Structure 1
């Protein structure tokens, strides 16, 4: 990919610096030996393969399984889509251009190449920010209403609109130029006497797609960490509570690792370009190309770590990856039921039981004929206050103990999943 703050800009600086020197004949000082190009090609190809395959698998795991379609996971889908797209459309192209500082892909792809990375990185980091805020609401304010699936999709749509608006200046000012022997792709920033538009734009981009969201996520996860690890709810030590607490800790821990990985991978990149805006002459030496390729590789590698993190720290994602790569001999067999999604009947059963447990109890018992041939029918059994009381079998059939026991047993088996409070007279 191209960078969110593009490499093409500083490469054009090298070109323009050379072009301004009338005694120079556009010498390209950034041509590398073949062995070095091969090593870099292997390194960048690894990023593309792992990132595209891993993130597409994440998207499949979430969208193909209903139980995985949660608010958090919808944002993970958006994050995976942005990272896979960035790897597929920009990483290789940016590497090819950086190797010899020569553009082979035309004006329109030059504009896309400068435009899309900022939008993708914006969508990626704000997806992580949205996950942090969603987790914050779920843990700190559990009684407040959560976002619905529709609201989540609207937020993702707004996120991409803002991302495209932020990246639009890079599209608008991108251009190609024909030099003797090669073509370059660069951003022809306007020059104003009042302000330095290019520097102002790059500083705003660095703040909006790195420092600000990381600050928000850092505060959110700090509060969540103190709540989940440094405090306990007195008097509540039930197994169910401990299971919920453990599950919340796992999700928060996974997302903290994701955010920290992103921050570490992109920090050198943003520092590099901010320094370039204020000290451009430091970046005109041939060795800076290797520095840039290293920093860019580290930044681009952030797109391939997230699927690995999900697989290592989340049981359901691990089960999904094992299912997706079950044909590979190196992948151990795992239980696909780890996703808790294998049986639709299981979900329907659980939903039915949940609904039944919330309904007021109504049980109708039709008894077998008694010894005198009389058929007795019991009415509704209602447990709510002020409703008709239960017709007690022991009262109706006191003279026939066997019938009473049979009735009691039938009623017990019929309504075993109801709360005992609902069966009170």
Structure 2
């Protein structure tokens, strides 16, 4: 079996594996010949490893940085999940995808970030073979689920704005899409779990992916290219196209002649949601770009792994990638009034957080809709006016005229009921659609 440590794409610290295996038979990626276990090589490997030992103050700073990311990401995303699931008004198609995004981000921060930081810092795997497999498997799964949740939101926004007459995703269809995302994520990451191993070396234990045939085989390279394309390039391309079209539609001009307050209210709400999601996507793209560039460059120029400052560059790029999990709750709080009200409610125990009555109303399901009521009232008025009957008979035939009026009124009502029922049904559907649209975008 040949070396596999340097072939890990994900957060199992491919850089750390390259450093940790320098000078042993498994470290061929750094030029150590297989089977060379002579003392000069071992001594060289020890000196090579020692140059990456960090002073205590630097370790403390990195620990605070990574610890802060984990704390904000886990608690922030859990609060986002609570805001959506605990308040009926927040349970929209877009927000269900945000729940999936928050869950994957919180899981990534909780189960991978600190573990990988410790491994990169000490070049020692302390967590056993089972967690080694999970550690190599789960990051790709979580990143895939995160970015395709954002992609699903982008496509849903595109359909709602560009072709609003088409039916929206139902709650059941949304759950099917989310389940499909996770199934595809599991399938993509499964090779990382299958070939993960731990190896006990003199003085250390390693966790890495031992690919069949070694890291330079065609299958290994192809797999890593596919992963980068599927978890970064392709979804960002799709979101770039959809949000560009949506942006041109929303900000490119207004509908000629439509100056109603209702239209401007809907347009403003749509712009806010799209603006928030564009910020989320750009944040993800910027945070992960240095990480992907790092591994592409060090994969081509492997001598860079011996550079004195490469460890700091790795820790910095990895921190930036992991920090993408903590920004979304902050973005929601800043750019969406309902999420802001939800965070105020979650932190109302803080002395400097003031929860107003307006904030409480933002998260409550609206039971009274003036627009809907007034529109239905207009339909009722129209129907009532159609049932009015005038009698021209004189007072001598009062009893007869009363019967005629009753008969005519009943006939008029029954005759119009079929036509009017369609009118009421159509109006109710239209009004309900308009109200749902405003609720989704608010």
- Which piece of structure 1 moves more, 119-128 or 167-176? 167-176
Match of 1:235, SS? coil
Determine the C-alpha separation between the residues in 2 that align with 1:262 and 1:194.
30
TM-score (norm 1): 0.81
Determine the C-alpha separation between the residues in 1 that align with 2:411 and 2:360.
39
- Which piece of structure 1 moves more, 350-359 or 201-210? 350-359
Preserved contact between residue 97 and residue 153 of structure 2 (Cα < 8 Å): yes
Preserved contact between residue 178 and residue 184 of structure 1 (Cα < 8 Å): yes
Residues matched between the structures, number = 377
Alignment of 1:6-85 (within 5 A): 6-20=11-25, 21=32, 22=37, 23-25=40-42, 27=46, 28-29=49-50, 30-85=52-107
Preserved contact between residue 12 and residue 186 of structure 1 (Cα < 8 Å): yes
- Select which of 352, 355, 371 maps to 1:333: 355
- Select which of 111, 115, 119 maps to 1:97: 119
Higher helix proportion: 2
Find out whether 1:347 has 2:363 as its counterpart.
no
Task: Sort the Cα spacing of 1:321 and 1:289 in 2 relative to 1 into closer, same or farther, 3 A.
Answer: same
How big is the alpha-carbon RMSD for the aligned residues of Structure 1 and Structure 2?
Answer: 3.0
Residue equivalent to 2:159: 137
- Which piece of structure 1 moves more, 114-123 or 283-292? 283-292
Preserved contact between residue 5 and residue 273 of structure 1 (Cα < 8 Å): no
Residue equivalent to 2:271: 249
Structure 1 unmatched runs, 5+: 366-373, 389-417, 420-425
Determine the C-alpha separation between the residues in 1 that align with 2:211 and 2:255.
57
Determine the C-alpha separation between the residues in 1 that align with 2:68 and 2:136.
22
Q: Deviations over 1:233-269 (max 9, x none)?
A: 0010000000000000000000000000000000001
Q: Deviations over 1:127-179 (max 9, x none)?
A: 00000000000000000111101000000000000001111111111111111
Find out whether 1:227 has 2:244 as its counterpart.
no
Match of 1:17, SS? coil
Alpha-carbon deviation of 1:357? Answer: 5.5
Match of 1:327, SS? coil
Higher relative contact order (CA closer than 8 Å, sequence separation 6+): 2
Find out whether 1:300 has 2:322 as its counterpart.
yes
Structure 2 unmatched runs, 5+: 1-7, 26-31, 389-398, 418-426, 429-442
Find out whether 1:197 has 2:219 as its counterpart.
yes
Task: Sort the Cα spacing of 1:349 and 1:253 in 2 relative to 1 into closer, same or farther, 3 A.
Answer: closer
Preserved contact between residue 341 and residue 355 of structure 2 (Cα < 8 Å): no
- Which piece of structure 1 moves more, 150-159 or 321-330? 321-330
Determine the C-alpha separation between the residues in 1 that align with 2:183 and 2:371.
37
